[in-house]
Structure 1
């Protein structure tokens, strides 16, 4: 701040020094003016000017230091009181801009909430005819027609479900209900939903659950499993998806392993990024790049650690590590 202050007052300091040099020069060339008393006066003046600069530095930089040290938010309570008319102009400008930004943010939040509510309402409205459509498809006797219709129905159902949870993710803390959750029920319910797709692709399941109960939110845990299973089925063909659970260091570990095409090593660090699809098959228009992103966000809200291991051509393994029961209770009670 000292350097900035000197730079700010540089022209005044130079003017003051040049003015005193000019006085010395006049005394030097004018014999009628005694030089030594002038030099003494200039010396005392420079000392007084230095003291003046030090005092003014503390006064003039207090306001600007508070601006420099404040956090980048809309809170203006830590800004020092302005001591000069120019500082008051700056303060008024900041206050007006802050009020404008607060109003804009409030309006934007209201618009976002309205759009969210309208979209959620639309999704729920669409689910009604979609359910009726599923019942009509189930009544079909023509299997060659029933199978593709069921598959397309499932695609629409999964996309709507993803959109629904995408809108709920920012407010997931308000939607959580932590309880003892049966892993087996969740996994088998999700497999049943995806059954027609699995049959079409010749995919089976090898399930071995040493731990069948975890402390979590059943609805959001089901969503996480749905996304992982959908991802595994999408990139697998004529193979089994293995689902295992076991306990390790008082933590439940759940693994979902497929034998699909795998993930390119250069993509592994990006698969949970919003909108990222793949560099291996970049023309895959069916991928939205949202499934794993939402999965990661939901898992973090449930304090579940999610890891992935994969090699091209050998498949992918997603590992969910649930928090220790005591740790979860301590975290949620904070």
Structure 2
């Protein structure tokens, strides 16, 4: 547009120069001013009309980009010129190309997840056989140590299985009344051999409280928190688990260990994927997945999870169950 305006001004200036310098043309100065004004006014009106018409497509395209939807290709504006049609064709070709790439990526990811899930199920068979062998020698101290290591392997494999199921959590979600204290006790019972190996005591406080949630996924969250508590607790330490009902009807589950605690500067990042923090580097056993998965599942099933550092040492993890499950409320609204 700028080049056109400069060209018009140059042509107008050239015309005025010819009129003034050519003695064969007699014209009054007022006529030259009138001719210039009329010419410029006509050009301005023409430019405004062309600018509005030629930018209509770009304005519509920008509006589409600001509020893009899944069906954005169908919402592409109608072209006014050949170049606009070329832009539409390029956008449709790019959309088709990346959809094909996404489909290929999803297929590869699905095959990988299926392989992992199959591997996890297959590996559970020899693990079960090992467990039966271990239980057949309850008084053997060597078997007791092996059982603790077996438990850690089993928990890691179980975590991998849940990771493969996480993307489809909304299809594998069943609400039912569950006792919070009971779920925590079951997880502690499953980790008994690990706790015994480290001589860790587990104390429960508070009465049973029922919440409406998914038992399997909720136990998975508790399991990840307890794994961290046992891993970082010193030998002979104590893990305290308390259940309380708040005045507003919410249920609070607190799990406190006597480990080294979480530095204040690490607290905002402990739920990030892959973050191990200073303690994880010292122990050289952290993967940065446990709390990340716990938070990911908690967000999906309507449970609030947060960490609180102890005054000197130790970490307190909190799980808040609302009186009405938030996940079910959102799902009910979508169904309506």
**TM-score where L is the length of structure 1:** 0.92
Q: CA deviation at 1:311?
A: 3.9
Distance 2:24 2:14 in 1: 16
> What's the counterpart of residue 60 of structure 1?
54
Q: Superposition pairs for residues 1-334 of structure 1, below 5 Å?
A: 9-33=1-25, 34=27, 35-70=29-64, 71-72=67-68, 75-140=72-137, 143-237=140-234, 238-248=236-246, 249-311=248-310, 313-325=312-324, 330-334=329-333
SS in 2 for 1:333: helix
Q: By how many angstroms is 1:140 displaced?
A: 3.0
What SS is found at the alignment partner of 1:320? strand
Contact in 2 for aligned 1:190/1:225 (Cα 8 Å): yes
Q: Tell me, which stretches of 5 or more residues in structure 1 are unaligned? A: 1-8
CA distance in 1, matches of 2:310, 2:176: 36
Counterpart position of 1:3:
none
**Higher mean C-alpha displacement, 300-309 vs 207-216:** 207-216
Contact 1:264–1:311 (CA<8 Å) still a contact in 2?
A: no
Greater shift, 321-330 or 122-131, is seen at 321-330
Which position in structure 2 is the counterpart of 1:5?
A: none
CA contact (8 A) 2:211 2:323 kept: no
Please say if residues 256 and 316 of structure 2, whose CA atoms lie closer than 8 Å, have aligned partners that are also in contact. Answer: yes
Q: Secondary structure at the match of 1:200?
A: helix
Taking structure 1 as reference, are residues 312 and 113 closer, same or farther at Cα in structure 2, changes over 3 Å only?
farther
Q: Is the 8 A contact 1:263 1:312 kept in 2?
A: no
Change (3 A) 1:29 1:279: farther
The alpha-carbon deviation at position 214 of structure 1 amounts to: 1.0
Instruction: Answer yes or no: is the 8 Å Cα contact 2:254–2:316 preserved in 1.
Output: yes
Tell me, which stretches of 5 or more residues in structure 2 are unaligned? none
Aligned equivalents of 2:68 and 2:144: distance in 1? 56
Cα distance in 2 for partners of 1:234, 1:298 equals 21
Tell me which moved more, 212-221 or 74-83: 74-83
User: Aligned partners of 1:321, 1:37: CA distance in 2, in Å?
Assistant: 85
Give 3-state SS (helix, strand or coil) of 1:80's partner. coil
The Cα offsets for residues 129-177 of structure 1, whole Å up to 9 and x where unpaired, read as: 1111111122236633113211221121111111111111111111110
Shift of 1:76: 1.8
Q: 1:113 to 1:281 in 2, by over 3 A?
A: closer
Separation of aligned partners in 2, 1:327 and 1:120: 29
Q: Tell me, what secondary structure is at the counterpart of 2:281?
A: coil
Post-superposition shift, 1:281?
4.5
RMSD: 1.9
How many pairs does the alignment contain? Answer: 326
CA drift of 1:98 comes to: 0.6
Deviations 1:44-98 (A, max 9, x none): 1211111112211221111111221224565223321111111111111111111
Deviations for 1:215-270, whole angstroms, at most 9, x for unmatched residues? 00000011011001111111102221111111111111111111111001111000
Answer yes or no: is the 8 Å Cα contact 1:205–1:242 preserved in 2: yes
Q: For the residues of structure 2 that align with 1:207 and 1:311, how far apart are their CA atoms? A: 18
What is the alpha-carbon distance in structure 2 between the residues aligned to residue 110 and residue 224 of structure 1?
29
